[in-house]
Amino acid sequence: MTTKALPEQITQLEQAKQLATSPAIALQAGSTADAMAEANAQTSRLWMVPRAQIRVLDGFNVRVKSTALDEHIRSLANSMLQAGFDQQHPLAGYVAREGAADVIYVTDGHCRLQALDLAVSEGAAIERVPMIVSDQARSMEEITVALARSATGKPLEALEKAAVCKRLIGFGWSEQQVASRLSLTATYVRDLLTLIGAPAPLRDLVAQDKISATAALHVIAEHGDAATERIQEGLQKAQKSGKTRVTAKFIAPAVQQVTVKQGVRLYSLAQELRADPGFASLSEDMQKKLDDLLQQIASKKERKGNAGKSEDGASAHDADKGGEPANDQAISNPGGKDTNPEATPPASKPATQSQPYERPIGESPFDDEPGITREPFTEAA
């Protein structure tokens, strides 16, 4: 059977249209035994193992429980209820010696095994499943690498990859060794280790898909120990806007946090300095700078006050239509830049929207942040 030859220069849409048609070939069943004999092929060690004899090694699988994982297992179970266990996707197992007994542990296919149990509980008549079993001596490190590299049905999420990396580091591997064996960059591995080392509440937010792994790393880099608090604040802002996920635009920059917190106090001190008799002893240049600064702040406050009055009617009108009232936070930045992203900009300047922070952490391509390309977690050729 041959596939269609595609020109080198062709758009993806044109490729999809051509590939959507059936190949010009009629398939007729042949003899598997004759074909394998002619090819001098060898049989693999594929076993049909009773489900009751397959054990799960506690704590070995790195899957993090989530809604997406439950949906994946549900989908597999539905398929098994309709068509049985797919013989072309066997489980992988390892035979271990425990005392006087040889026992079979699953090392790849944990989701399929859970789906099997779910399908059987709902009436599927499946007693045995295909399994490729190894009895060769293998270290836990090698089995862990195999677990990560074979997760193709549902690719590992960032936290799950991070768990694999941390486990291998715990075995004494270097970051470079981990990167090489998992076909990742060393920078990506370091980012994963940073993520898995973050506080548990922050990791939970990533696991619950409240924030992407990339965005979480950006917040960690910028806010340090306050990262979890900043993300939770951003989540509240996102939810008020009807969103369920935190993105960069909902996270206030670290500089803004300090400015908003101290701005009122700095403004008050500047006014006291201007009124102090010692002000006259300052140089004319310094006096002018302080006067200009106070004038800028006073003008901004006045403009915001006027804008707030004009928005009261608009806010009430929006509320009648089900919208949210305007959020007016009357505080200014002594540096002359408006640090409140929700305040109404001066009429003389066009409104600008805060842009997401797009600088990637090293080379880490976790998921769907703008400007970041995803690094596929696949086995090297």
Q: Is the pLDDT of residue 67 over 50?
A: yes
* pTM of this structure: 0.59
Rounded distance between C-alpha atoms, residue 104 and residue 95, angstroms:
5
Average pLDDT over residues 200-204: 92
Rounded distance between C-alpha atoms, residue 295 and residue 303, angstroms:
12
The pLDDT value given to residue 133: 85
Average pLDDT over residues 75-104: 91
Q: Is the pLDDT of residue 317 over 70?
A: no
φ, ψ for residue 142, nearest 5 deg: -65, -40
Take residue 363 and report the two structure tokens written for it: 């080379």
Cβ–Cβ under 8 Å, residues 168 and 144: yes
Q: Which residue, among 313, 344, 327, has the nearest Cα to 237 in the 3D structure? A: 327
Half-sphere exposure for 42 (CA within 13 Å, toward CB): 2
Residue 243 burial (C-beta neighbours within 10 Å; 0-12, 13-18, 19+): middle
Question: 56 CB contacts (<8 Å, ≥6 apart)?
Answer: 105, 106, 110, 113
Rounded distance between C-alpha atoms, residue 236 and residue 242, angstroms:
10
Cβ–Cβ under 8 Å, residues 334 and 266: yes
The per-residue pLDDT of the chain, averaged, comes to 77
Residue type (1 letter), 179: A
Rounded distance between C-alpha atoms, residue 110 and residue 87, angstroms:
16
CATH class, domain 140-251+361-381, is: mainly alpha
Rounded distance between C-alpha atoms, residue 213 and residue 158, angstroms:
7
* CATH number among 3.40.50.300, 3.40.50.720, 3.90.1530.10, 3.40.50.740, domain 42-138: 3.90.1530.10
Q: Is the pLDDT of residue 40 over 70?
A: yes
Top mean-pLDDT range of 2-16, 32-46, 302-316, 326-340: 32-46
- DSSP character for 211? B
pLDDT digits (tens, 9 = 90+) for 212-262: 999 999 999 888 889 999 999 999 999 999 999 999 889 877 665 555 656
Rounded distance between C-alpha atoms, residue 63 and residue 110, angstroms:
9
Cβ–Cβ under 8 Å, residues 339 and 259: yes
Where residue 307 falls among pLDDT bands split at 50, 70, 90? low
Where residue 189 falls among pLDDT bands split at 50, 70, 90? very high
Average pLDDT over residues 54-67: 90
Q: Give the helix/strand (H/E) hosting 292.
A: helix 284-320
- 119 CB neighbour count, 10 Å cutoff: 23
Q: Which residue, among 59, 45, 137, has the nearest Cα to 92 in the 3D structure? A: 45
Cβ–Cβ under 8 Å, residues 117 and 73: no
| pLDDT over 70, % of the chain | 71
For residues 4 and 220, the model is more confident at 220
- Residues 135-147 as b or e (16 or more Cβ within 10 Å = b): eeeeeebebbbbb
Rounded distance between C-alpha atoms, residue 203 and residue 218, angstroms:
14
Top mean-pLDDT range of 95-109, 144-158, 177-191, 251-265: 177-191
Rounded distance between C-alpha atoms, residue 221 and residue 214, angstroms:
11
Q: Is the pLDDT of residue 66 over 50?
A: yes
CATH 3.90.1530.10 segments of the chain:
42-138
CATH 1.10.10.2830 segments of the chain:
140-251+361-381
Top mean-pLDDT range of 94-98, 256-260, 350-354: 94-98
Q: The dihedral of CA 214, 219, 222, 228: what is its sign?
A: negative
For residues 131 and 330, the model is more confident at 131
pLDDT digits (tens, 9 = 90+) for 116-135: 999 999 999 999 999 998 76
Rounded distance between C-alpha atoms, residue 114 and residue 72, angstroms:
10
The pLDDT value given to residue 297: 82
Where residue 301 falls among pLDDT bands split at 50, 70, 90? confident
Q: Is the pLDDT of residue 289 over 50?
A: yes
Q: Which residue, among 147, 146, 186, 150, has the nearest Cα to 169 in the 3D structure? A: 186
